[in-house]
Structure 1
Amino acid sequence: MKRHIAIVFILAALLAGCSGDTDDIGIVARVNGAPIYLSQLEFQHDQFQEDSVGAYVPSVAKLRKEYGEILSDLIVQELVVQELARRDLSVTDEELRKAENTVRADYPEGAFEQVLVEEYIDLKSWRRQLRYYLAQKKFFQQVLRPQIKIDYKEAEKYYRDHISDFYLPESMRILVVRGPSRELVVKAVEKYQKDHDQMNLATAFGEVETREVVVREGRLSAPWRNALTGLKAGQASDVLTDRFGFEALVLLERSEAKVLPPAQAYPLVEEALLEKKMENAFEQWLSGTLAKADIKVSEHLLESASKAGDGDGSGPDAVFTEPDTPSADEDMQSLPPDAPQDMSEDDMNGQEQSDEAIPMDQVGTDTGI
């Protein structure tokens, strides 16, 4: 796994503060007794910094701040996992297997493993992150979603208050016909206007490409706007020339500006209301859970450690510290108010201190709401 020199320095500083307790080596936090490992922080940090690897060497103080923000996410994620376990809803091995097969289906044979190799990713780590994501999705779908109700009066009010969101400007549906020569494009357009079969154009004219697009009139380029002026549905423009070749535009449909009626707008209204209520439900759950949670965090990631060590990685010897504030949630200032992006779980088949990583684009960020 790729590392900055400064990250290795932080690692040494954290391990040096274990006070001789081998059970705490590599652990940066405990959530109700469940450990969060330094390797998890490193993995998340590597993913977030992927585009800037080698571009600069961040200071220890900056790394501590970034690690602290990531740790707050992992703590929330661990709380979600524990909530699922209490409800007997933990992600099963079968659910994990099905999700993995779905991802693998998007790759040619052998390509999935090749991506992991090229990105220095361990397959076990990828599976662990996939399990975290599935846990998050299940929490929203099976724990929070059943609590939320949307009645028609609420939907009507939202529609009236946000009527501008359901305004559809004028738009055009256009068939773009491209080819290497003007004559070929003209023949392809004539054939389409005769039989209205877009698929046959590629067969009849091997060098012709077609694509259908929907464009708002206000976003048309100047050449396209001039070419489409005065055309009616079914008519084609003259052949246009640019540095990529030749193209003609066939106007398939012109839609006037309109406001979606309530019946058509309802799915959008429901989605907007559901998202807001889910956020509120999550914040309420998180607030109550944090108030009762027993959270211990490494002093090296706290702001006080940064001040004590002047950003050079030195600080108190004890790895864990009880927050000085009345409740644990007040100490975790960077906890996000919304759903975590990647779930963290303690019961990952005994994989505790693995130094692993995962391509985040293979897991996804959809909450599944």
Structure 2
Amino acid sequence: MKRHIAILFIFAALLAGCSGDADDIGIVARVNGSPIYLSQLEFQHDQFQEDSVGAYVPSVAKLRREYGEILSDLIVQELVVQELARRDLSVTDEELRKAENTVRGDYPEGAFEQVLVEEYIDLKSWRRQLRYYLAQKKFFQLVLRPQIKIDYKEAEKYYRDHISDFYLAESLRILVVRGPSRELVVKAVEKYLKDHDQMNLATAFGEVETREVVVREGRLSAPWRNALTGLKPGQASDVLTDRFGFEALVLLERSEAKVLPPAQAYPLVEEALLEKKMENAFEKWLSGDLAKADIQVSEHLLESAAKPGDDEASAPAVIAEPEEPAAEEAVEPPPVEDDMNGQEPADEAIPMDQLGTDTGI
């Protein structure tokens, strides 16, 4: 989605700032009237920054730029959701439930919830982003894909123009036999060369491990290259010794360098052409939809979206500073978190420490 941010920047001058009504507190943008909440923005930012938490304290300019980019993605995602709704193709609750259960199925019972707690991930925010992901996938499959056709002449031209992409270097298919002693490896290799049954080796020699690998000729390590020199398929190398134990290499197959013929290359050609055409179709749709969309963005983020590529030194300062109280009204500015009262009911209020004290839009 990052590749589409530039399109949003083109239309940044057309975006109107949100009003400062109390109902808008906690909202960073509206897309055709539908709100995008600060909680969504901060959830996405937290996910992108989870690997660097505590590593550094980002500058205000860097933080503003990151938030502007994430907001651009959220706006595009919301436009996709609205387009699906117009076509009566919205992601259903049942589709969302199945997708969530698929993710949960990758974890032992109870582990998914534990990960959410340990990673400070809000389940409602996670589900909302999952719905966005499903919507984008559905949009590409059901809306854009039917519009795209690949002509065989186009495929032939792509194959000729990118013939180097279909070059396969010489490769070797190797059976690696490892064990705790030289004698055990030798016996295991002898049995394999006699029976040609890899599975029986683990039964006959409990401490022997085997694995089959395919390696390009140019990527062989020096010891392996020396051990395989002169071997023909079906022959084994001498036993090699390293700090992890003993191993021998059985050469199973040697594939000569070749260029994939058109028939074999066609699935790869089709995939490459389809990806390019899908990107172009999406860019075209997005440009047209943005041109007629009513998008309102918080004044705190609008300038950061209007100047992509600014470095931290030259980025415009759009963070609002609290007004200095009059002398006779020596009062402290209200706490930052108080500004979040009234944000989206479904989400817990999130501090605005890094966006300035004015959360109105």
Same fold (TM over 0.5): yes
Kept in 2, the 8 Å contact 1:43–1:358? The answer is: no
Would the alpha carbon gap of residues 135 and 13 (structure 1) be closer, same or farther in structure 2, given more than 3 Å must change?
A: closer
Partner Cα separation in structure 1 for residue 345 and residue 207 of structure 2: 56
Measured after TM superposition, the shift of residue 302 of structure 1 is 2.5
Secondary structure of 1:308's counterpart equals: coil
Asked if 1 retains the 8 angstrom alpha-carbon contact of 2:300 and 2:355, the reply is no
Cα deviation for residue 146 of structure 1 reads 0.3
Q: Is the 8 A contact 1:27 1:35 kept in 2?
A: yes
Distance 1:367 1:307 in 2: 22
Shift of 1:129: 1.7
What is the SS of the residue equivalent to 2:212?
A: strand
CA contact (8 A) 1:44 1:70 kept: yes
Question: Are 2:197 and 1:205 equivalent residues in the alignment?
Answer: no
Following superposition, the deviation at residue 126 of structure 1 comes to: 2.1
Structure 1 pair 352–240 and aligned structure 2 pair: CA distance change class (3 A): same
Q: 1:14, 1:319 within 8 Å by CA — same for their partners in 2?
A: no
CA contact (8 A) 1:37 1:352 kept: yes
Matches of 1:261 and 1:361, distance apart in 2: 59
Q: 1:322 is matched with which residue?
A: 321
Alpha-carbon deviations, 1:15-63, whole Å to 9, x = none? 9999762210100111111111111110111111111111121122221
Structure 2 distance, partners of 1:36, 1:298, is 10
C-alpha spacing 1:323/1:20, structure 2 compared with 1 (3 Å): closer
1:217-366 matches, within 5 Å, as 217-303=217-303, 352=344, 354-355=346-347
Cα distance per residue 1:48-86 (max 9 Å; x no partner)? 111111112112222111111111111111101110010
Change (3 A) 1:104 1:368: farther
Which moved further from structure 2: 134-143 or 15-24?
Answer: 15-24
Kept in 1, the 8 Å contact 2:15–2:297? The answer is no
Kindly indicate whether the alpha-carbon contact (under 8 Å) linking 1:306 and 1:313 is maintained by their aligned counterparts in 2. Answer: no
Which deviates the most, 46-55 or 273-282? 46-55
C-alpha contact 1:126 1:359 (8 A) present in aligned 2 = no
Q: 2: distance between equivalents of 1:132 and 1:115? A: 21
Query: Contact conserved, 1:61 with 1:306, CA < 8 A, in 2?
Result: no
Question: 2: distance between equivalents of 1:48 and 1:201?
Answer: 46
CA distance in 2, matches of 1:304, 1:166: 43
Aligned-partner SS, 1:3: helix
Distance in 2 (CA, whole Å) between partners of 1:367 and 1:157 is: 55
Of stretches 8-17 and 322-331 in structure 1, the one that deviates more from structure 2 is: 322-331
CA contact (8 A) 2:172 2:217 kept: yes
Q: 1:352: how far off?
A: 3.6
Moved more, 6-15 or 350-359: 6-15
Per-residue deviation, 1:320: 13
Summarize deviations over 1:240-286 as a string: whole Å, max 9, x none.
01111111101010000111111000000000000000010000001
Taking a change above 3 Å as real, the CA distance of residues 6 and 251 of structure 1, as seen in their structure-2 partners, is closer
User: Which digits, 9 at most, give the CA deviation of each residue in 1:100-137, with x for residues without a partner?
Assistant: 22222222222222211211123232222211111110
Q: Which has the larger radius of gyration?
A: 2
Q: Residues 308 and 85 from structure 1, CA distance in 2 versus in 1: closer, same or farther, beyond 3 angstroms?
A: closer
Separation in structure 1 between the aligned mates of residue 187 and residue 216 of structure 2, nearest angstrom: 28
Corresponding residue SS for 1:20: coil
The DSSP-based 3-state class of the residue aligned with 2:18 is coil
Instruction: Check whether the contact 2:172–2:215 (CA below 8 A) recurs between aligned residues.
Output: yes
Contact 2:178/2:209 (8 A) holds in 1: yes
Query: 1:248, 1:202 → 2: CA distance?
Result: 15
Q: TM-score, normalised by structure 1?
A: 0.79
For residue 252 of structure 1, give the secondary structure of its aligned residue in structure 2: strand
Structure 1: any 5+ residue segments left out of the alignment? 333-339
Q: In the TM superposition, what whole-angstrom CA distance separates every residue of 1:184-231 from its partner, at most 9, and x where no partner exists?
A: 111111111111111221222121111111000011011000000011
Match of 2:250, SS? strand
Q: Is the 8 A contact 1:173 1:252 kept in 2?
A: yes
The 1:233–1:128 alpha-carbon spacing in structure 2 relative to 1, beyond 3 Å, is: same
Q: Identity across aligned pairs (percent)?
A: 91
Unmatched 5+ stretches in structure 2? none
Residue 309 to residue 143, structure 1, CA distance change in 2 (3 Å): closer
SS state at 1:302 partner: helix
CA distance in 1, matches of 2:329, 2:68: 14
Q: Determine if contact 1:172/1:214 at 8 Å carries over to the other structure.
A: yes
Change (3 A) 1:277 1:350: farther
SS at match of 2:341: coil
Question: How far apart in 2 are the matches of 1:350 and 1:107?
Answer: 36
TM-score, normalization by structure 2: 0.80
Q: Measured at CA, do residues 310 and 222 of structure 1 come closer, stay the same or move farther in structure 2, by a change above 3 Å? A: closer
Deviation at 1:361, TM superposition (A): 27
Pairs aligned (count): 360
1:324 deviation in Å? 25
Deviates more, 1:154-163 or 1:319-328: 319-328
Compared CA separation, residues 326 and 155, structure 1 to 2 (3 A):
farther
